[in-house]
Chain A
């Protein structure tokens, strides 16, 4: 079955540590996205990538980094510079052919808690 996988589902880290969240898709999609979700604030875009080896900052990129070395993978690193990293992180992908008319499909999410 085609889809998006994120791992792990729950992640606990100590303050000051970097942590990498995994996102893999087998939908053959060109575009991939990372969102952060906090209670009452909806989905906020962290980074997005339209093609391999290229990515752009979203609305809240500070304290995060990404890479896109393979079409199917778009890992997100939450660095120690991120002041409030505890949140629910969602990865999404879309075909990338129609810009804002593309449907985005979401992974199951990773809940990160920084202690």
Chain B
């Protein structure tokens, strides 16, 4: 079952912050975040593992709440280059499983 992402779409002005949420009905071991520009390949942003630390770079970070089976991606002081569709992929806990991707959040940053 696909994880649920929210919001489905968001428009920001340069410099504003955004939060994208990813929620699963299954117990998770991993959460993967990707950004995709139109017509291009998804680009890996970060992976969060159960029991691991919150990950991130200076302006893009993410958290993983294992108990709630949720992850959030934080975009701080957004830039025009942040525009694209953000996907989360969730890896269930237990045995060999497959990563399942959400339907994406379309983010547009305007001047």
A interface residue numbers (CB < 8 A to B)? 35, 40-45, 48, 58-59, 88, 90, 99-101, 103-109, 111
Instruction: Say yes or no for B40: interface residue by CB 8 A criterion.
Output: yes
Q: Which residue of A lies closest to B28 (CB)?
A: A100
Q: Is the CB of A99 within 8 A of B103?
A: no
Residues of A close to B84: CB separation below 8 A? none
Q: Is the CB of A106 within 8 A of B30?
A: no
Binds A, one of B11-19, B54-62, B65-73, B93-101: B93-101
Report the Cα distance A44→B28, complex, angstroms. 19
Residues of A close to B96: CB separation below 8 A? 99
- Least distance between A76 CB and chain B CB atoms (Å): 16
Q: A42-B87, A104-B32 are in contact. Are A99 and B41 (CB under 8 A)?
A: no
- Least distance between A1 CB and chain B CB atoms (Å): 15
Q: Is the CB of B87 within 8 A of A99?
A: no
Q: Is the CB of A100 within 8 A of B42?
A: no
Q: A48-B98, A103-B32, A103-B47 are in contact. Are A42 and B40 (CB under 8 A)?
A: no
Report the Cα distance A70→B7, complex, angstroms. 41
Q: A42-B102, A104-B99 are in contact. Are A99 and B91 (CB under 8 A)?
A: yes
Q: Is the CB of B41 within 8 A of A109?
A: yes
Q: Which residue of B lies closest to A107 (CB)?
A: B41
Report the Cα distance A108→B39, complex, angstroms. 8
Interface centre among A41, A45, A58, A103 (most CB of B within 10 A): A103
Residues of B close to A105: CB separation below 8 A? 44
Q: A100-B29, A100-B30 are in contact. Are A106 and B41 (CB under 8 A)?
A: yes
30 A-B pairs with CB atoms under 8 Å apart are A35-B101, A40-B103, A41-B103, A42-B2, A42-B101, A42-B102, A42-B103, A43-B101, A45-B98, A45-B100, A58-B98, A59-B100, A99-B91, A99-B96, A99-B97, A100-B29, A101-B29, A101-B30, A101-B47, A103-B44, A104-B89, A104-B99, A105-B44, A106-B34, A106-B41, A107-B41, A108-B40, A108-B41, A109-B40, A111-B39
